Amino acid sequence: MKKIAIYPGSFDPPTNGHIDIVERGLTIFDKIIVAVLINPSKKSLFTTQERIDMIHESLAQFSTNIEVESFNGLLVDFASIKNAGAILRGMRAVSDFEYEFQLALMNRKLNNEIQSVFLMTGLRWSFISSSIVKEAASFGADISDMVPSAVYKKLKEKFDLKS
Ligand code: PNS
């Protein structure tokens, strides 16, 4: 039986931290389905399709073991449609724990057959989030070493960054 994990998130935009988690996850799982949440009530910088395209491009080298899809509704429902036995999430610091704990227990309550698996992000990405990268980029800061090159290109277009 293939070990399949769902790696859900907003990915607005994907960062090097997200890519790091997928790479680590692929040492455990045969296939990872990166699941981009469609959330019309949350204002996002990138459209769902732009996020999917950036993830595809950034993970091109792992394309045989990766799928990238959007989803709405309950994550556990999407996971079971996809035959995924696990939900993969990254943790950067203790501050992530409370939310992740709540999310994992709620997901377990909703579907006891899907396990949550947490991986520690590489230390050098531990301070990075999509929000902080967007904020820094919006003020013209150099975030080129915090996001994959496909994402950097898109951020440059959005914020009219030089270099
Ligand atoms: O990258 P994020 O924003 O931290 O990801 C949050 C995400 C997408 C994992 C979470 O919001 C989610 O799973 N949303 C789908 C609805 C759902 O199943 N919620 C949890 C149980 S109510």
* Identified catalytic residue from 18, 31, 134, 154: 18
Cα(37) to ligand 1 centroid in Å equals 7
Quote the pLDDT of residue 6: 98
Cβ(154)–Cβ(46) below 8 Å: yes
Does 9 contact ligand 1 (Cβ within 6 A)?
yes
Neighbours of 143 (CB within 10 A): 22
Any catalytic annotation for residue 24? no
Quote the pLDDT of residue 21: 98
Residue 10: what are its φ and ψ, rounded to 5°?
Answer: -85, -35
Q: How far is CA 159 from the centre of its chain?
A: 22
The residues that bridge with 7 in the sheet, in sequence order, are: 34
* 155 Cβ contact list (under 8 Å, min separation 6): 13, 133, 134, 137, 143, 147, 161
CA distance 10 to 158: 18
Does 74 contact ligand 1 (Cβ within 6 A)?
yes
Quote the pLDDT of residue 129: 98
CA distance 128 to 83: 31
Any catalytic annotation for residue 42? yes
Q: Which whole-number Å values give the CA distances from 24 to 20, 57, 95, 112, 128, in the listed order? A: 6, 18, 21, 24, 17
- Average pLDDT for runs of 10 along the chain of length 163: 96 98 98 96 95 98 97 98 98 96 98 98 97 96 97 94 68
Atom of ligand 1 nearest to the CA of 35: 8
Quote the pLDDT of residue 160: 79
Q: Which residue has the tokens 């949550």?
A: 116
Domains and CATH numbers, the chain: 4-127 (3.40.50.620)
The pTM of this model reads 0.97
Does 80 contact ligand 1 (Cβ within 6 A)?
no
Quote the pLDDT of residue 161: 73
- Maximum distance among all Cα pairs of the chain, rounded to whole angstroms: 49
